[in-house]
Every structure is written in structure tokens, then in C-alpha cells.
A and B are shown apart, each in its own frame.
Chain A
């Protein structure tokens, strides 16, 4: 029983982390049809910026409560800056090219940003543990869990709801759905698709960086963290169906729970199960669980 409770809680905590990061990735793909490899770098940049800022915050002896707001502000600010710069400075010149070209372009951005991170922050790990430990822990089923992790779960759910609400209940969201459905017709109907792209890419980058910023207190921020997350985020998005917010949520939940069950019951297959699930889903639904089969345009 204790093990079952642990699997459920661990799975949902892992879900929250994955979902926050995958949401931006899937949003960008859904609207712009760009598999954004640089998303991993946005995550890393958010983590580094947050770790540096939080370090300075506590070094100045400021109260812990403010550090949580600082985390969010750091992630969102650096995500907005880098997302806007990449879209306006680079991607805008590439639209209309093949999807594979866009993958290569974002991969190049990823490699450049990885080196920029090393130039700015060096290679030594950064720790920003204070916000993680300050909230203490809570015992559930006899096992201690960090309150911070549970708050991340609430944040992920709030972000999921916000994404659903924006897409389905706001004017901007509906326009976005139109662009997702057919960008040429949207353009013909007077929707400023170029501006929608800029806004979407910037929001996607902000979500990626926010993911890194809120993860930073619980991890050691080291070079290479962007590589690991992008692979997992792709797996999540592919399982759920690239471009689907609900798909990202279900994909993250499936990966989180399956991985948690594997670690508790058969630790040797931890990595295998994530990709096994992905392979099974792709075998039966190549477009992912929530992806829609698209008619081929001639």
C-alpha cells in the first residue's frame, strides 16, 4: 500500500515537471510546426538565471518568501527575451522551409546557446536549494515528500488549466486554433499569422525557461541539463500527440507513472519503459494519443 501511494505521488510529481516543460514544446509545434530542439536550452537558461538570481537573493540576506516570485520572474523574463530574439532574429527568415530544415536550425541554436551558457556561467554546478528546503516536508503514507514538489504539481495543473482556458475561451486562443488548423486560410482571412508566430514562440520559450527556473532549486544546475530534458519532452509530446495540450498532459502523466512504477518495482527497466511506451503508442497511433491524422496536401 505504501509503495502504491509512493508510485502515485512520485508519478504525479514527475508529471508536473515534464508537463511544464513539454507544454511550451507542444504549443510551438502545434502552431508553427517547428520541432524546437532549442527548447532544451531555454530550460537550461531559465535554470541558470534562476539559480544565479536566487543565489544573489539569499546572499543579500533577503527573505525566502520573495525567492519564489524571483524564480518565476527570472524564468519568464529570460524566456521572453531569448524566445523573442530567436523568433524575430532567425526563425522569421526561415518560415516556409521544410520541417527538417527548421529542426536543423533550432538544433544549431541549441548548440550555440549551450556554449553561450558555458561562456556566461562556466562549468561549475550552481545550487539554489533554499526555496526547495525552506518549505519543509510533509509525510504521506509514512514517506516524506518535499512541499516544494507538491507546489510544482499545483503549478503544473494551473498552467494546464490556463492553457486550456486561453485556447478555448479567449479570442486570442480561438484565433490560434484557426492558425493551427490552417495557416494559409487564416492569413487569407486577415489574421496576422506572423505576429501570432512571434507571440506563440515567445510564450513557448517562456514556458520552457519557467520549467527550468522552477526545477532549479531541486537540482544541481550543470552544463548539459538541456540535453536530457529535451529528449524526455519529445517522448512526452510524441506519446500525447505533438501539438496537443491535452496530449502533453496525458503523455507526461503516462511517462511519470510508468517510470515511477518501474523504479519501485523493477528499477533496471526505468529508461526502457519510457521509450517502450512511446514505441507502443507510435505503433498503434503514429500521430500520438491526441494527435489528429492530417490529410496530405497536394
Chain B
């Protein structure tokens, strides 16, 4: 009888599906709040590339298409990722409210986000207050874990100290006879921290160097004519800048047009994020950084090859360092959660994830990341610098030098500025 056959087939199919159904019921989604600039000046160079990377990685994790060492389990420990993306624009007060909304109303399991150092400083205490697992993926101020310690907060990206000490080391390797340097950095936490770290690094590594002028234009100034004149009048050998986004592009554009970089070396510590867009304007010989071994500096690996290829195929542009740093944070969370879960299929407790995350070493498209500072909550990794060279109209990097993490980061328990001014004791550069 047909109906008997049909019934039997349905029962058999149902029996076969039972384990799958049970697994689906077990696999409650892992809710993730992602905070990045979707509007304002930081959206184009940082926020949107980070958002793009988040979308790409989350989809790939959920479909299980991320290669080794993440090829084993789909999502995070079998739990599919569900994301809520929030715009970081609007200032710290708004971000505090948005964070509370994510933690208390949306009930996310974890928050990954924050590009602005100001936002990071405001959110850090909230993470512990609300006991919400939080990962800072990009902001650079070293003050987060040097001025306080947090249980639920982690940062998977390096600090501004690493960027600027490595810049100083690279500069002196390339140009040992440098006599004077000047700085142009934005007038907020990031710009001041970057310049102070670079200045302290130079004072330690080359005591007789002179500081010609220190310019701090406001964020989003757009017009740098007067600052460029001040730099030209001061006539330093080297100009250091941590400008980013539209500010960096405008400064490079205006400075190049006025010949400001004809006889002096320009250092752009965040230059990689606009290197390809500005291929026609950045002068050859400019020293370029990527805030870690990201983007064009990323070492060859199966994971990196997959990431670059997938990103370029989807967004028609190579991933820059904010994309790498977002991918790093997501994979760090996956690595820590799965380490905490062990063989269990269920979601580990927050305490267990925190414990697993502390001191963790995990792999990202830009290489190995070690959670070594801030009692295991702050990442360190190697960093690379290179020299810009235009070849056939395309931006390339030559003379790339890689510095080990312990060469450009202070030892655990030592504040960055104390370490820089105290002679870089314990730095391991070999």
C-alpha cells in the first residue's frame, strides 16, 4: 500500500533527522554585538572595512568554510553566530548607552568593537560592571590595561606603543643619521599618545635627535596648509604622523603638492589603510605601518590566503588592517570559547571563556597573537614596517622589516611610557 510505504518512509526519515534536530536545538545562537563606525569620517577607512570583515568571517564560521586551524566546528563551538551591528559614531555618551542596550536589552553574549580610543576608555569599566565579555579590536591607547585591570575585557590588537617604537626602530635602521624630527598628529588621545610614544622612543634610541615642531590639528580639520608651512619652516629631516582616514589623505595630498616631502622622510604609522587609494600621491620612500602585521604585511598562510581571496572577491578591494583586526578579534573569541568548552558541545560559562582567553595564543590571518600583557588580557604580536614604492602605478612595499612582539612591547607589568623612557629594558629583538 502506498500510504503504508509513505508512512514508513516518513518515520524512517524522522528517525534519521532526530539527532540533527536535537543538535539544532542544542545549538542556541551565540549573540554578538559588533560596534564599528558606519558613519562619520572613520567609517570609510576603518569602520566599513571592519564591518565587511565581520560579515565575511561570521558567515564563513557559520558555514564552516574557514580553513585550518578553524576548520573543525561551525560557528563558535557549534553555535551559529548572530550579530547586531551598531554604529560607533556619536561620541562616548552615546556609545555607553548603546553598549548598555546591547548588554542588557539585546542580551548579547559578547561585544566586539571600538576603533576610537576615547570610546574604549569609556566602555572599559562598563564591561566589568555589566559582566559582559567584551573584546576591543582596534583602539590603540595603552592606558586601557596599564591604568586598570579588567576581568571581562580583552583587546586582541596591539597598542600605539608598538606602532611607534617599531616606527622609530625602522627609521633609525633606514636613516641612522637623522638629526631632527617633527610630528603632525590629531588633537585627541590617539594623536597625543602616538606622538608621545614616538618621541620617547626616539629620545631613547637616539639621544641627540632634535624635535623641530609638534603639530596637533583637530580631528577632521581637512585643511593643513598652515601646519605644512610650519613643518617647512622648521625643516626637519623626518615627519612623523599617525593621521588616518580623510585627514591623512588630505595632509598627504596638500603636502605633496607643496613639496613638503621632497627632501624629508614621511612616516605614516597608519598609512597602509590608504596606501592603495593614495598610490598616486604618497611619495616614494614614505615609511608605512599597518598597526601590526596586517594587510600587505600579513605573512603567507592558508588562513591569510583564504581571507584575502574571499574578501577581495566579495568587496572588490584588498582587506586593509581594520579588516584584519576585526577578523583577529572574532577568531580570538572562537579560539577562547572552544578552548573553554573542550569536548563539551554546550556553551561554556563566561567565567570559563575568560579563563581560557587569558594568556591564550591563537592564530589569525596576520599570524600568531599572544594575549600576554594586562594579566593576559592584552594582545601582543609582531609588527612590520616597510617603505612605499610605486611600481607601474601600483602601491608596493619594499625593505619590509618585521619586529618580534617582545621587541616592541613592554614586559608584563611595566607601563609603556616608563619602558620607553627607561631604556627599553628586556626588549628581545633577535
Contacts and interface: CB of A to CB of B under 8 A. Distances in A.
Contacts of B246: 125, 219-222, 225
A270 interface: yes
Interface string B221-234: 11101110110110
The winner among B213, B259, B281 for most chain A CB atoms within 10 A is B259
Contact of A144 (B48, B213, B232, B245): B232
A271 interface: yes
B226 A14 contact: yes
A13 B40 contact: no
B163 interface: no
B257 interface: yes
B309 interface: no
Nearest to B220: A228
Interface in A18-38: none
A183 B230 CA distance: 48
Contact of B256 (A9, A123, A133, A271): A133
A215 B221 CA distance: 12
Contact of B230 (A6, A137, A148): A6
Given A225-B220, A228-B221, A263-B227, A124 B44 contact: yes
A272 to B, nearest CB: 11
Nearest to B232: A143
A67 B364 CA distance: 46
B277 interface: yes
A125 B232 CA distance: 27
A264 B226 CA distance: 8
Contacts of A197: none
A267 B183 CA distance: 11
Contacts of B38: 123
Contact of B260 (A17, A144, A215): A144
A254 to B, nearest CB: 15
B211 interface: no
Interface residues of B, number: 42
A145 interface: yes
A118 B38 CA distance: 10
A129 B281 contact: yes
Interface in B133-162: none
A132 B257 contact: yes
B257 A264 contact: no
Contacts of B226: 10-11, 13-14, 259-260, 263-264
Given A259-B226, A263-B230, A125 B254 contact: no
Contact of A219 (B45, B47, B215, B250): B250
Interface string B187-228: 100000000000000000000000001111110111101110
B97 interface: no
A164 to B, nearest CB: 26
Interface string A113-124: 000001000111
B48 A222 contact: no
Contacts of A224: 39-41, 220
B233 A6 contact: yes
A218 B258 contact: no
B43 interface: yes
Given A17-B223, A220-B249, A264-B229, A270 B216 contact: yes
Nearest to A118: B39
A17 B256 CA distance: 20
Contact of A222 (B41, B213, B215, B223): B41
Interface of B: 38-41, 43-45, 47-48, 187, 213-218, 220-223, 225-227, 229-230, 232-233, 245-247, 249-250, 253-254, 256-260, 277-278, 281
13 contacts: A2-B233, A17-B223, A118-B39, A125-B277, A143-B233, A144-B259, A146-B225, A219-B223, A219-B250, A219-B254, A220-B250, A264-B233, A267-B230
Given A127-B249, A127-B253, A149-B225, 5 more contacts: A127-B281, A133-B253, A218-B253, A225-B222, A263-B226
> 7 closest pairs, A vs B, by CB?
A222-B246, A220-B249, A123-B43, A220-B246, A10-B226, A124-B44, A6-B229
